[in-house]
């Protein structure tokens, strides 16, 4: 009896191990399998959610660069169609207001970017979702560590103008965003060419840094939010990041065109013509429920083909 006691104990012990070890191994194997299976789901939750773009990813913004002579640009980000549309608008553009006509620059100076966006949208019968007024210095801060855009000035400046800038042999200029507005102003170009050049600079900037913009642009806007005049909300900046992500993913086309019009040197007015509204509503969403209104010009003719109505986008060299 005494010799059989230890033997029975060890026999029971090994029998128990023989039963438990396969169960324990199966449990460990199942746990490891579950952990590996959950890794892809965990990774998908750590980045930007994968989803199709919606109407929230179609945004039109009037950007005003608040320099000594303000500069204006309509920007449309359209993730659904994978397109970025840039439309420089001359500061001398004539807008329809409740009391008559007013210049875009005067509307901005007297009532701010919100009023300027409202009148411009009403004049062209388009929807402008948001406005953003930024100084050249703040624009440079928003751009941050991104590379300065490189602009091919061929076709934008005449040969004599390129020679005066020392760019006759190599007409590609690297231009910091905070310097662009002042540089364009020093060239003393006609209104039409100023608009084309401004569009080319912005086109080069967005096209060349498209992959970096989803992170850099919203972060830059948040960093200088105290110096901006804008109705972009915190939620808008998240939508902006999502939109830019889609645009970068789809390698969106970036184009720049100018609203056709007729500039009068004596009155210093840029009058929209009959084809201006059709042009604008081709590039930007039409205002809801709006009927086409006459352009605020005394002329019933279409835009003068010599100034500035070549709406083909200028080519930029990356």
CATH number of residue 178's parent domain: 3.40.630.190
271 lies in some domain: yes
**H-helix or E-strand spanning residue 174:** strand 172-174
Are 123 and 272 in contact, with CB atoms under 8 Å apart? yes
291 lies in some domain: no
150 lies in some domain: yes
237 lies in some domain: yes
Taking the C-alpha atoms of residue 61 and residue 231, their distance in angstroms, rounded to an integer, is: 10
Q: Is 217 exposed, middle or buried (0-12, 13-18, 19+ CB in 10 A)?
A: buried
Amino acid 24: pLDDT: 61
Taking the C-alpha atoms of residue 186 and residue 179, their distance in angstroms, rounded to an integer, is: 11
Helix 234-249 and helix 213-223: axis angle, to 10°? Answer: 160
62 lies in some domain: yes
Taking the C-alpha atoms of residue 36 and residue 32, their distance in angstroms, rounded to an integer, is: 6
Domain tally, the chain: 1
Amino acid 33: pLDDT: 52
242 lies in some domain: yes
Amino acid 30: pLDDT: 55
- The tens-digit pLDDT sequence of the chain (318 residues) is 445 566 665 566 566 656 656 666 655 555 555 544 444 443 333 344 447 888 889 999 999 999 988 999 999 999 999 999 999 999 999 999 998 999 999 999 999 999 999 999 999 999 999 999 999 999 999 999 999 999 999 999 999 999 999 999 999 999 999 999 999 999 999 999 999 999 999 999 999 999 999 999 999 999 999 999 999 999 999 999 999 999 999 999 999 999 999 999 999 999 998 789 999 999 999 997 655 555 555 444 444 433 433 333 333 343
86 lies in some domain: yes
Domain extent for 115: 58-283
Tokens at 82, concatenated: 């994978």
Cis before 269 (ω within 30):
no
Taking the C-alpha atoms of residue 257 and residue 202, their distance in angstroms, rounded to an integer, is: 11
312 lies in some domain: no
Helix 177-186 and helix 191-208: axis angle, to 10°? Answer: 160
């Amino acid at each position: 009896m005494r010799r059989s006691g230890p033997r029975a104990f060890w026999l029971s012990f090994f029998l128990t191990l023989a039963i438990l070890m396969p169960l324990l191994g199966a449990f460990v194997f199942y746990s490891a399998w579950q952990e590996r299976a959950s890794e892809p789901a965990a990774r998908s939750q750590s980045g930007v959610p994968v989803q199709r773009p919606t109407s929230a990813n179609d945004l039109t913004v009037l950007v005003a660069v608040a320099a000594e002579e303000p500069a204006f640009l309509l920007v449309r980000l359209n993730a659904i169609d994978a397109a970025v549309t840039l439309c420089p608008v001359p500061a001398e553009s004539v807008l329809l207001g409740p009391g008559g006509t007013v210049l875009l620059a005067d509307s901005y100076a007297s009532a701010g970017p919100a009023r300027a966006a409202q009148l411009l949208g009403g004049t062209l019968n388009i929807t402008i979702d948001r406005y953003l007024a930024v100084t050249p210095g703040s624009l440079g801060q928003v751009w941050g560590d991104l590379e300065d855009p490189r602009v091919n000035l061929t076709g934008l400046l005449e040969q004599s103008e390129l020679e005066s800038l020392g760019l006759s042999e190599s007409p590609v200029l690297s231009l910091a965003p905070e310097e662009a507005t002042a540089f364009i102003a020093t060239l003393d170009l006609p209104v039409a060419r100023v608009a084309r050049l401004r569009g080319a600079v912005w086109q080069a900037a967005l096209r060349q840094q498209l992959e970096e913009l989803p992170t850099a642009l919203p972060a830059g806007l948040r960093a200088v939010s105290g110096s901006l005049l804008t109705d972009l909300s915190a939620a808008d900046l998240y939508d902006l990041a999502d939109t830019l992500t889609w645009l970068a993913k789809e390698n969106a086309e970036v184009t720049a065109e100018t609203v056709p019009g007729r500039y009068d040197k004596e009155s210093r007015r840029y009058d929209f013509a009959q084809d201006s509204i059709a042009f604008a509503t081709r590039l930007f969403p039409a205002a809801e429920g709006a009927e086409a209104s006459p352009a605020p010009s005394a002329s019933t003719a279409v835009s003068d083909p010599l100034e500035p109505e070549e709406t083909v986008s200028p080519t930029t060299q990356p």
